[in-house]
Each structure stands twice: as C-alpha cells, then as structure tokens.
Structure 1
Amino acid sequence: MQTEPLYDVVAVGLGPFNLSLACLLEPLAGVRSLFLEREPEFNWHPGLMLPDATLQNPFLADLVTLADPTSRFSYLNHCRAEGRLYRRFIRESYTLTRLEYNRYCQWATKQLGSLRFDSEVRQIEHDAARGEYLVKGVSPKSREPFSVRTRKLVIGIGSVPSFPASGEPHQGLVHSSAYLQHKRRLQAKRSITVIGSGQSGAEIVLDLLREQPHHGYALQWITRSPRFFPMEYSKLTIELSSPEYARHFQRLPAPARERLLRDQRAITHGINARLIDAIYDELEDRAQRAAPSAQLLPGCELTSCQFDPIRGDYALSFHHTDLEASYLHRTDGLIFATGYAHRVPAFIEGVRHRLRFDAHGRYEQAENHSVDVTGHEVFVQNAGFHVQGLTSPDLGMSCLRNAALVKELTGVDHYPVEPRIALQHFEPPVGGPLQRVERDAAEREVLA
C-alpha cells in the first residue's frame, strides 16, 4: 500500500456539494485535500436524466459563482470551453436541464487533481495521540485497499431512496431514482402506477403519458397529498434559503423546526408550474380526442403493498383522507416517487464516540456544519435538513455553505459571504418597530 501525505481535508462522497467544495479548495495554495468517491465517475441521478427535466436553480447557482464569480470552474467558463457561450447568450434561458448540469459537473471533475474515483470508504478511525483521522477503504474495481490520514473530514455521501414502510418487503419495487433503468420493462406491462406527487413523480408521469400511445398501458398517478400543488418559488420565499434564515431556523426549538418544515412542503415537495401545465395540456388534449389518458388521484395514502407472485401484480391498499374510506388497487407496474432519506454510514462506527447525534439518531449539526465533539474537525454536507431547513438540500446555496466550510477547514475567510442577503427580518431587529416584552405585558397593553 502506497504511503500518502497527511491531508488537511479528506472528503467522502462526490455529489454536487462536495464537488463545489473541491472547486473552491483547488486554487488555495498549501491546502492538501482529497475527495474519495466509490463510483468510477461523476454521474448525478442517472435514473432521472429525462431529456426535458430541468433544475429549479438558475445557472448562476453553479458550483462556484456565488462564492467566487471569477472561478475557472464556473458554468459560463464551461460553456466557453465547449464553444457554446454565445449560443447560451442567444438562448436566453436562465435554467439548465439535468443533462446539461451533469455534463457541466463532469467537465469540472476533469479539471481537478484532488478527486479519486473508484475509492469506497469502509472505515474511519481516530488517532488521539496524533490528532488525526485514518480513512480506510478499497477500490471496488481492483479490490486494492487504501489508507489515508487527515486532520479534518467532510462527509457528503448523499441520501438513499426512500420507500414507504408499506412498500419495503418486495425487492422488485422501482424507485423514481432508477426509473430509466426499468422504463422499458415497465412499459411492457398492462398498467403502471406512480406513487408520489413531487417533481420527480411529475416528470415520470409526463414521460409515461407522452409515450403511452405507443405501448397501450393504463396509467395512474396517486398521492397522499390533498392536491397536486406547484412549487412555491416567489422571491421572498427564496429568501428562506438564505444564511440569515438558516441561522434563525437552527436556533429554534426542535418542535418549532418540525412545524415549519411541515408548513414549507410547497417549497420542498412541489412541482414546477410549467411541468404541471404540460401535464394538464397533455391530459386535456387526450380528453378532446377520446384517447387513452391517465387517472390522477390525490388524497390517497398508501397503507399496504403486497406482490402477488401468482398474478404477477401488486395489490395496493389506500386510505382516502377526505372520505375516511379504504380502497384496493391492482397494478402490474409500480414506481415509488417518494423522495430520499439521509443515512448515517457504517464507516463512521469507529469514530461514533466523537460525533454528536440527536434523540432520533441524526447528526446534531452545529451552525458551522460540524458534527464532532470538538466542533471543528468533522463536517457534513446535505444531512442537516432537520436542523438547517431549506438551505441543507438547496443546490443554489451550496456555494455559501462551502464558503463557510472553507473558512472552517483552513482558518482563513477566502470567500467572504455578503453580511446580509435577505430583505426581510426573520427575527424583529433590536431598535426596530417591534419592542420585545413579556407576553402578559403585551396582552395587557393591547387590552388597554
């Protein structure tokens, strides 16, 4: 096994968040960083690379621009390198397709020397005498082991597909993240049911709807949500992903955070309005022509899912939340567009005693994104939704988080963040129009 230098930072996982961090660390002299990824190359959600699927964030929210507009890793520099800068200008589109974003990220990986693919981390240990972390793993391809030492860690392994508890027993279930791998097999069936009404579910439904005439399957789209609602994306709402709101949110008691996250479902679980309109137009056109269409059923919560090996189909039980009634549905093909869940990886067991967790077994993340007992050695990416709210999974805010992480990792504020971003105040400011008083005193003042 080759002896390696002591790294200042070793990051595990290479999704967009850690790739952004790698780009921001690259030009900093004297910083030794290494990014380990088990896959052979960068490939972001390959099972959802539908041709027309777009990101919700504008292209300025790329890997680097909001932290360093002069960076050579910007999306516009990628366009220039590909000879498409003026085409991009003429196109006048502020958003990117998922395919474009993935290609941009792959381009960025080829400009970096700190990335190591085909490297699966299996174990992390802490050397107390040296104040270092030992990261051990193996190459999935060659089975060759590796071991590296570092002063600090960043864990950014992403999330895993989430199935409702009623949908876990049968291993043949398809999650939306693997849709394209199973698409042809599903389209050969007599019926396909999509469970879940977020952005991914809507993209899949539109794709299946458009190709339905060529295959003849029946299509159902079912969700427990009371309606198929659009993503709330107004300008003042976007400010809820600002650092100011993240700080306000993190300082709230846990019950208040949970309540707010439920109230913010229209931001986190909604569908792009243009996509809703496209689905509606497709359905309405089918209705005019009396052509095969789809059934859309909101307010139906899945209570059980059983695979029938004799019939080769699924028996689904639903509870209608408005009618308080139960229904049975059978389908040959089944897709769960039910989101993702974060996991605490097994490789941290060797340092679990040095990390902080809440009562639910989740990382107890500090304002500086650290999760270790010292508060400045182990950091996590995109695993603090319960603590930091909307900023945790938002690609558009990755630069701001990584600017703060660079400061924590190096001790130098290389990418100063604008001191105030939001125009609104999430807490009444001192000296402002609202004066804080005891609740009883406020009520007496109103009554007087």
Structure 2
Amino acid sequence: MTNKQYDMVGIGIGPFNLGLAALAEPLDEIDAVFFDKEEKFEWHPGMLIDGTDLQIPFLADLVTFADPTSPYSFLNYIHRQKRLYPFFFFNRFDIPRQEYNEYAKWVAEQLSSCHFSSKVVDVIPKNEEEYYEVKIETPEGIQTVNAKHVVMGTGSIPLVPPAFEEKLNEHILHSSGYLHKKEEIQKGKHVTIVGSGQSAAEIFLDLLEEQTEHHYHLTWFTRSSNFFQLDQSKLAQELFSPDYVNYFHSLSFEERTSTVEDLNPLRHGIESSTLTKIYDLLYHRSLKGKVPVTIQASTEVSDIHKKGNGYELECKQLKAERSFQYEADRLILSTGYKPKISPFIERIKDDIEWEDDKRFKVTKDYRLVFKQPRNHHFFTLTNIEHSHGSGATNLGLSVQRNQRILNVIAGRDVYPVPEETTFQTFNLF
C-alpha cells in the first residue's frame, strides 16, 4: 500500500464514508481506499439500547438510493442472514438500531478498501503534482499513500458544555457512553438527564422501565421550552430530499444559518412513539401512588459541584428567571454532538474560503472551495450543516452526497442524482 497512488482516500469509516466505499467498489475508474483509527466498525455503541429503532426507513441504507441492485443493500444483508421472512412479517419500514449496526459491520467486513486500526495523522498537499500525500499510523508503523482526491468523513464527537468538560467521570457522563456506564448509573439514588432530543428520551424511558428494580428518583431537564415531538408529516419530510438540499445550498450564508433553526422540529424532536411509551408507563405506575419522577422544561443546568456523596446542580428556570439548586448523584448529559474537524485542516486553512471563522465554504458537490482553483479536490462530509442544512447529518441523504462525490471524481454521472423528487416546489424562480 505504501506510496501507492489512489484516486480517492477516505478519512474515517462511519456510515457516510462506508456508503461511499460500497458505491465506489464496483467502479473500474475509481481506485479508492479508506482508513479509520478504530479496530472495527461500531455505530454509536453506547446508545444501542434494546428496543430502539432507526429513525429513517431501511431503504435509506448505504447504497439503495443510488443502486437498488447493489450487493451491499440492507435487503441483501437480511436475505444473507436468512431473516427475510421474519423481516417481512415484522412489517415495518424502520429497523432496530442494533440491526443497522450489524448490517454496516457486515458491509465493512466485505470491502477490501476499508482499513481499520489505521489512523490518518497528516495530509500534505502536493499542489504542483496535483495530489495529496496521506500519512497513516498502523500497527506496522507509519505508511504513506498518495491521493488524487481526499474525502473527510470524520463524523462528530460528543458536545459537552464547557462547565462540565473537566468534571466528567463514571457518575457524570455524556449520553454517548450510556450503555457502557448503565450499571454504575443505576446504583445511584437520584439520576438526572439533561437534554431534549431523541437520545435523552430513550435514556429516560430505558431507566424508567427499570426504575422499580433499582429504586432511584429519575429527573429530566431540558433548556427547550417543551419536550417537542419530531415532525414526521409527509410534506415536512420532503425537506430531506435532494431538491431541498439544492435549494438550501443556493441561499445566502445568512439565510442558511437562520433557516437551520427552522429545521429543528424535523431534526431534533422526539418520536411520538417514544413520548407515548413514556407517558403510558408513567400513567400505569401512578395507579400505585406518586411516581418518583421529575420532568421540567425551560430549565438550564449551568454547573455542578460536589456535595457529600453526590452533587449539587446549578439550575435556572428560564421562563420564570429563577435560579435553584438541585441534588443528584448521577448526571447524563444528552447534549448532542459537534463536528470532528481533523487537525490537518490547519495545513490548508489559509488556502480555502471561509463563510465565518469556524465554517468553511463548501460547494454543492461537497468540495472545499480553494482560493486558487485546483483539480485535486478535498471533499468533506463533516461540518456542512451551514452549507447543506437537512442534508448535513441525515443518513437518508448520505447516498445522495456520495453520488455527487463519485460523479465528480469519475468525471461522469456514474450514479445520476435524481431531480424533482418532491411534490412541493422550493423556488419557482
């Protein structure tokens, strides 16, 4: 592999770059390789809670929207596992989150282009020769490959409020590590969850279901003004379409940043089925008396201090503008994620265009915009919420992203991107 020239090198092997690898595999004109520092593929292992489902239909797998005949489709996976009939009788479009993870691992194991335990430590532009020199740390030592094009698919990392960053421990943790620490969490007498999205709701429900076995008080705080339900109406879902992404990208930076906030009910709400399960369980428990549960919106948790064998939370009810202290001995921060930007972006930061001090300019086909145009492209699937809106992190649109990238690299429409996919129109002009 050392010093070999590739058409494309992918950095990171999450679902986005894994789908790119699967679609690139049958293309004779693209020689691609992908690297990830982890030992194997795992998709949010700390949140693979029993009974939780993927929030998108199984058709939004790694390849189907580009090539339904691909051997790497979910349907082929379920067929190979001899589970097609059970899945047929399951009779649902959404699938268990654990099953999606197993499907993605199955795809990764089949692709010789995917290399794990291989950390990309540097990317050096060789502009005159029109390629990138990519250095990879492997168990055998540092290796170097050359790439005509690079795709950054480094995903996201937990977003922890600054006041809590230095205080994380086995009792204070981000939701991404929930299952790894669940046993220790349930030893507490007062467990508090902070956050407003689907992950917070799933953790609350999981702990609520087992509350009577462990006898803890369970609290759920969120800064949001309510525990908002995910908007799953059909016309609203059309905003997860190639047509809407094209429209969103055509807007000014100011319009795009303000419009992202309008997309929150589509991207950060809680599924109605989860909210229903929570309420129904609370109602049934209430038949035996008061349920040891506290649920409060419009509540900011700004800091935490050690107090005795537990902790004291600094809180504020935002609407009433009243501060208060709240005791807990276990705290779960379901505070979301932020883009993981590779440090070698520093090498090219002065060569690319920026929309503000943190967000680089990205073309419709996911290329960084260089001040001096070049033919060796640097694609990004990370930190693109400001440029592609609902298409930034959605699994259902990841195939469309990969289609565009492969079409640019191949120089032709190897996977044509569909147009006029919605009944509504986003721009008549």
TM interval, shorter chain, is over 0.9
CA contact (8 A) 1:43 1:102 kept: yes
Q: What is the CA–CA distance in structure 2 between the aligned matches of 1:361 and 1:380, rounded to whole Å? A: 14
> Match for 2:351: what amino acid?
R
1:47-78 per-position Cα deviation (integer Å, ceiling 9, x unaligned): 00101111111011111011111111100000
CA contact (8 A) 2:153 2:380 kept: yes
Larger deviation: 172-181 or 351-360?
Answer: 351-360
Other structure's SS at 1:79 match: helix
1:133-181 per-position Cα deviation (integer Å, ceiling 9, x unaligned): 0111212xx3611111100000000011001233223132300111011
CA contact (8 A) 1:124 1:349 kept: no
CA positional deviation for 1:241: 1.6
Q: What is the CA–CA distance in structure 2 between the aligned matches of 1:143 and 1:327, rounded to whole Å? A: 55
Larger deviation: 160-169 or 181-190?
Answer: 160-169
Q: What is the CA–CA distance in structure 2 between the aligned matches of 1:134 and 1:289, rounded to whole Å? A: 66
Other structure's SS at 1:314 match: strand
CA positional deviation for 1:90: 1.8
Alignment map for 1:375-390 (pairs within 5 Å): 377-390=377-390
Q: What is the CA–CA distance in structure 2 between the aligned matches of 1:296 and 1:350, rounded to whole Å? A: 47
CA positional deviation for 1:325: 1.3
> Match for 2:383: what amino acid?
A
Identity in percent? 35
**Other-structure match for 2:162:** 165
Bigger radius of gyration: 1
Alignment map for 1:113-262 (pairs within 5 Å): 113-139=112-138, 142=139, 144-172=141-169, 173-262=172-261
Other structure's SS at 1:34 match: strand
Q: What is the CA–CA distance in structure 1 between the aligned matches of 2:288 and 2:140, rounded to whole Å? A: 58
Q: 1:335 aligns with which of 329, 332, 337?
A: 332
Q: What is the CA–CA distance in structure 1 between the aligned matches of 2:283 and 2:357, rounded to whole Å? A: 46
CA contact (8 A) 1:372 1:379 kept: no
Larger deviation: 130-139 or 148-157?
Answer: 130-139
Q: What is the CA–CA distance in structure 2 between the aligned matches of 1:116 and 1:355, rounded to whole Å? A: 29
CA contact (8 A) 1:17 1:382 kept: no
Other structure's SS at 2:55 match: strand
User: Normalization by structure 2: what TM-score?
Assistant: 0.95
Other structure's SS at 2:232 match: coil
Q: What is the CA–CA distance in structure 1 between the aligned matches of 2:347 and 2:144, rounded to whole Å? A: 14
CA contact (8 A) 1:11 1:153 kept: yes
Other structure's SS at 1:422 match: coil
**Other-structure match for 1:424:** 424
Answer yes or no: is 1:86 the counterpart of 2:102. Answer: no
Q: What is the CA–CA distance in structure 2 between the aligned matches of 1:378 and 1:214, rounded to whole Å? A: 52
Q: What is the CA–CA distance in structure 1 between the aligned matches of 2:168 and 2:300, rounded to whole Å? A: 21
Larger deviation: 339-348 or 325-334?
Answer: 339-348
| CA 70–423 in structure 1, closer or farther in 2 if over 3 Å, else same | same
| CA 330–295 in structure 1, closer or farther in 2 if over 3 Å, else same | same
CA positional deviation for 1:291: 5.8
Other structure's SS at 2:30 match: coil
Other structure's SS at 1:54 match: coil
CA contact (8 A) 2:202 2:274 kept: yes
Larger deviation: 142-151 or 264-273?
Answer: 142-151
Larger deviation: 354-363 or 224-233?
Answer: 354-363
RMSD of aligned residue pairs (Cα, Å): 1.5
CA positional deviation for 1:305: 1.3
Larger deviation: 19-28 or 291-300?
Answer: 291-300
CA positional deviation for 1:402: 0.9
Q: What is the CA–CA distance in structure 2 between the aligned matches of 1:343 and 1:101, rounded to whole Å? A: 23
Q: What is the CA–CA distance in structure 2 between the aligned matches of 1:405 and 1:46, rounded to whole Å? A: 28
Q: What is the CA–CA distance in structure 1 between the aligned matches of 2:279 and 2:2, rounded to whole Å? A: 60
Q: 2:356 aligns with which of 352, 356, 359?
A: 359
Larger deviation: 368-377 or 50-59?
Answer: 368-377
Q: What is the CA–CA distance in structure 1 between the aligned matches of 2:33 and 2:269, rounded to whole Å? A: 36
**Other-structure match for 2:279:** 280
> Match for 2:124: what amino acid?
E
Other structure's SS at 1:145 match: strand
User: Normalization by structure 1: what TM-score?
Assistant: 0.91
**Other-structure match for 1:432:** none
CA contact (8 A) 2:152 2:382 kept: no
> Match for 1:400: what amino acid?
Q
CA positional deviation for 1:422: 1.5
Answer yes or no: is 1:47 the counterpart of 2:46. Answer: yes
Segments of structure 1 that go 5 or more residues without pairing to the other structure are: 430-448
CA positional deviation for 1:327: 1.6
Other structure's SS at 2:50 match: coil
